[in-house]
Amino acid sequence: MAAKFASEKNVKFMLYEVHDLMSLTKLEYYSMHNKKAFDMILDAGMQMAKDMYYPIFKEMDEVHPELADGTVKVHADVKKIMKEAGEGGWISATFPIEFDGGQLPTMLNCATHHMFGAANYSGSVYPGLTSGAAKLITSFGSKELIDTYVPNMLDGKWQGTMALTEPQAGSSLADITTTAYPQEDGSYKIKGQKVFISAGDHDGVENIVHLMLAKIEGAPPGVKGISLFVAPKYRPTADGKLEYNDIAVSQVFHKMGYRGAPITELAIGDKGECVGWLVGKPHHGLKYMFQMMNGARLDVGNAATSIACAAYYASLDYAKQRPQGRKLGQKDLSKPQVSIIEHADVKRMLLQQKAIVEGSLSLILQCHKYEDLETAAADPEEAEKYNLLCEILTPIAKTYPSEMGIISTSNAIQCLGGYGYCQDFPVEQYYRDIRIHPIHEGTTGIQGMDLLGRKVVMLEGKAFKLFKEEMEKTLVMAEESDVYKEYAGLLRDALADIEEVTAHKMKVAATKGAEAFLADACLYLEMFGYMTIGWQWLLQALMAQKGLDGGKAKKMKDLYEGKIITCKYFFKYELIKAKALKIRLMEDDYLTAEAPASCFND
């Protein structure tokens, strides 16, 4: 039997009680769905997580993917994963019906992905990436491109990838040099090199379809000259065959964790024979890619949450079973030892994990709800509103789970003591696996600049204003309660702090320039994160209280009470960290910006 790695009960509480998934079915776009179908999908997802993903979680870690005969050999079950994800409709779940998709809310999809990621993150990446890549083609590609590539991708026969990074251009995409040379038939010959391409090649599928950034020869410099191409490993020919398209794997990276999915270096068009097809208009590549990237960032947040979730349950299970020591003050040594879950410090470590994991999951579901509301919006203004809410929350939903998830899995190890450091227990793998998340799909540094430098200021602060209106709804609800008005007060205070810091930073931007403005953007992001997760915890506690007050089924009682206690924990132990960050962010020195590189010489 699989150990517990995620809680379907908690996921359902989040979906139905906290974020009101069913409200989406009142909108035309999602009107064909009902709760029974959603429940069946969630049950099936959990079953798949247990039966297909979890059993190979450890195996996929033990053997690095290796390059042999031009192909990357991965775990034999990757074939099965892609097949079942394709045939079961998991890859196409959120695609519109016109593409043979399920037209399901991304909220629901996020919930099943959470289960897959918690069971086996590496395994879940293959179909997840394929889905994102295919969506990019359906959103911006020609009918011909769609017809040629999308069905095989959604069926799980072909792998999709995001091919952005180059050896000299990671965070700085402006500097990519992969070049596309126009051909007479409208296609392009592509030449260049890509690195760190997840699932960039493997033997679990027939073909790999790269959604690749390149610059058309003579394009403007920087990001304004970037175009998006489809460049497959094998070109489909008119007679339905596959022809090698001159994309070779030059290296597979050996990583600390996340080992079940290969990260590759690709040599593109070394023989001058790599053909690519333009997606959408020339020079619009980065804009298109950002659609996928925003989704990918939420996926990273979800994956980090899911890994931390699995680690949390592993440490919880251990804490319940491991006897060690006695309650403080208990001097009678003839009494048996207690389970370590009885110790306050262990409960603190478990509460911190629960607060991080379930706070993160709540925020990511919230973002997906906005995404779904945008998709189903009746008018452009409404669509814009939900788009902006998603935009401003994405850097937080990517970073908070990634950075705090590291602390959370570290706590999981700590709960197990020496055993946690050993490979007999899974927590050390979670600790290694999760460390990729503050790096890929935009580092924490990039997310900080995105939040403070773009999202908070864009459209004269419109996104920020909309976000405050959303929080206000929760605050008003909380203020009606004698218990929760205290927490509403703390959250209002945190918001006031953020506004004060934001105003201060705007002055810095105007008087001291971009570098001073953004030097502490990561700390601003962290501060913003505590407040945002505080909001989600207040919302969860309010809904749990409603459940308790409504005298719902007894079997929900522990869960509801746990939510309320964890909300209190978050406000009293985590939200306070924003206070320290405020002290820093209100300072008028520009210590890091001004420190000369020579200060590191010794």
Which residues are identified as catalytic? 441
List the one residue out of 270, 291, 319 whose CA is nearest residue 133: 291
Strands 207-216 and 179-182: parallel
Cβ nearer to its own copies, comparing 388 with 578: 578
- Smallest Cα–Cα separation from 395: which of 339, 333, 445, 469? 445
With H, G, I as helix, E, B as strand and everything else as coil, classify residue 231: strand
Least separation in angstroms between CB 512 and its own copies: 11
Amino acid code (one letter) for 2: A
Residue closer to its own copies by CB (options 6, 41) is: 6
Structure-block tokens of residue 341: 């879950």
The number of C-alpha atoms within 13 Å of 142 and in the hemisphere containing its C-beta is 12
Task: Pick the closer one to its own copies by CB: 255 or 455.
Answer: 255
Nearer to its own copies, 35 or 572 (CB): 572
Output 147 or 175, the one with its CB closest to its own copies. Answer: 175
Instruction: Output the smallest distance, CB 319 to its own copies, in A.
Output: 8
Rounded least distance, CB 257 to its own copies, Å: 8
Give 364 or 406: the residue with its C-beta nearer to its own copies: 406
Angle (CA) 344 346 350, round 5°: 115
Q: Which residues pair with 229 in a beta bridge?
A: 212, 278
Q: Are strands 247-252 and 234-236 parallel, antiparallel or unpaired?
A: unpaired
- CA distances in angstroms from 288 to 139, 213, 269, 293, 371, listed in the order given: 9, 10, 23, 9, 16
Min CB(73)–its own copies separation in Å: 18
DSSP 149-191: HHHHHHTTSEEEEEE--BTTBSS-GGG---EEEE-TTS-EEEE
What are the φ/ψ torsions at residue 575 (nearest 5 degrees)? -55, -35
User: Measured from the CB of residue 520, what is the shortest distance to its own copies in angstroms?
Assistant: 7
Residues in the chain: 602
**What sign results for the dihedral spanned by CA atoms 96, 102, 107, 111?**
negative
Nearer to its own copies, 485 or 577 (CB): 577
Per the DSSP assignment, residues forming a β-bridge with 370 are none
Q: Whose structure tokens read 């009101």?
A: 20
Smallest separation (angstroms) from its own copies to the CB of 453: 8
CA dist., res. 373 & res. 387, Å (int): 9
Smallest gap from Cβ 53 to its own copies, in A, equals 20
